[in-house]
Structure 1
Amino acid sequence: MAAASGGETSQTLDRGLTVLTLLAKSEDGLTAADLAERLSTARPVVYRLLRTLEAHDLVTHEGARYVLGFGIAELAGHLQPRLQATVQPILRRLSEKTDSTALLSVADGDQALLLLTADPPHATFHIAMREGARHPLTVGADGVAILAGRPESEDDAEDVRVARRRGYAVSVGALQPGAVGIAAPIRVSDWATASLGVVQLGVEVNDALVPVVMDAATEAAALLSGPRLSGQQPR
């Protein structure tokens, strides 16, 4: 067992979770040999991990290449009620503070999926965002923020690099003419899968909204990763 800052951890479980993470990052899947090299471990160990993950529908294989299984989607489906209960109140407050449409987007492959929205209660006009809408991660502040919340890659576009340095992403007219977006990644690990942001009518970014958006994303990350969701108090 490997020592960690919070105590001991299971090396086998850690390797299994690392396999899932590696497969999530690979669009074309990976072979057992690929995984053994990246895990710096013997191939028989990797095969045992893969067989166990397959038994739980978390991994499947197409020929010699392994990809994530549909069990991952089933688990992710149970996350939405938690997100709604945790993040929706934050979105409502953010929308009211900024007089903008607030939104939570999640990564679904190479696309950003608009999962939750909150409309400004007192705005005469606002941008209407449809829950369930999709667009490429590389387009729009919400998708760019997700990419910026991940480790640096040589394939990163310049707007992703800028957003990573700033801690937030902005877009003007990227998804809809006359719409300005600001978003920050929700960081519960070093591989962001969600972002929280606002979109409003305009052609220029209102810098005063940036810290409000970043604070909201930080609050969401703390609630989603903290022990309070299970009724425990932080130590």
Structure 2
Amino acid sequence: MTTKPGDTSQTLGRGLDVLELVAASTEGLTPAQISTELGLSRTIVYRLVGTLVEHRLVRRNAEGLLTAGLGTVSLSQNIAPTLRNGSREVLEQLAEELGATAHLAIADGEEALAISVVEPRTTTFHLAYRPGSRTPLGVGALGRALLAAREGRAEVFESEGELIAGAKGVVASIPGSVGLACCVGVVTLAAADTSTWAPRIEAAARELGEILLG
């Protein structure tokens, strides 16, 4: 049987739809859920999932739920430099205006991963925050903002002393980052008055959303 170009394009499109849906899920999906969500027959979904599993783009856990596989890592290996370069100017402005260390982070599995960090240049004292740092997802303002981003919610979170004693974080989820959960925020000394910072950080999140996510 000869495959027509149109059939190939349709199959590829459906496969990408399945991959995007699975990647956006935090708990994993069953083939039946994918079938319902995308309006495809289960036979087609099983065939597409089988191919994606074979290429390690999707994995099937012990409960039969489908989640993003390790093969997606190689597809996104250049994402960190892209995010770092795209966010630099916004983070520099945020750090200088608030006098606090600004950062961009993404959800990497069950951890929050700091992609880009900019320290203020004009402060006498500030907290340092190393790029590549990892913290548990869901813990502190940073972790909660990333969970909100996964759900497509634009929200600002504040926490004190949850990740680092004597430190306070104010972080906003980046709208539209469901497939790639991102957030932007600042970390500062606990004594700092951050009561007016939320609108500024929300503005930075909107700006970064336009730059990074189109």
* TM-score, L = length of structure 1: 0.74
Please give the residue correspondences for 1:1-235 in structure 2 after superposition, counting only pairs within 5 Å.
13=13, 16-22=16-22, 24-27=24-27, 29-54=28-53, 56-61=55-60, 65-151=65-151, 167-190=155-178, 193-203=181-191, 205-226=193-214
Distance 1:74 1:18 in 2: 18
Distance 1:189 1:77 in 2: 18
Letter in structure 2 aligned against 1:174: E
Give CA-to-partner distance per residue, 1:54-73, whole Å, 9 cap, x none: 45431244575543222211
Matched position secondary structure for 1:25:
coil
Q: CA shift at 1:146, angstroms?
A: 1.7
Matched position secondary structure for 1:208:
coil
Distance 1:36 1:132 in 2: 37
Q: Which runs of 5+ in 2 are unaligned?
A: 1-9
Identity %: 35
Matched position secondary structure for 2:22:
helix
Quick check: 1:172–1:204 contact (8 Å CA) kept in 2?
Answer: no
Quick check: 1:146–1:185 contact (8 Å CA) kept in 2?
Answer: yes
Letter in structure 1 aligned against 2:213: S
Distance 2:61 2:190 in 1: 47
Q: CA shift at 1:53, angstroms?
A: 2.5
Q: CA shift at 1:168, angstroms?
A: 0.5
Quick check: 2:172–2:184 contact (8 Å CA) kept in 1?
Answer: yes
Distance 1:21 1:205, change over 3 A: farther
Quick check: 1:58–1:70 contact (8 Å CA) kept in 2?
Answer: yes
Distance 1:11 1:138, change over 3 A: same
Q: CA shift at 1:190, angstroms?
A: 4.6
Give CA-to-partner distance per residue, 1:1-27, whole Å, 9 cap, x none: xxxxxxxxx797366434443355255
Q: CA shift at 1:39, angstroms?
A: 4.1
* TM-score, L = length of structure 2: 0.81
Letter in structure 2 aligned against 1:175: L
Counting matched residue pairs gives 204
Distance 1:189 1:128, change over 3 A: closer
Matched position secondary structure for 2:17:
helix
Q: CA shift at 1:118, angstroms?
A: 0.5
Letter in structure 2 aligned against 1:214: E
Q: Which residue of structure 1 lines up, in the alignment, with residue 3 of structure 2?
A: none
Matched position secondary structure for 1:218:
helix
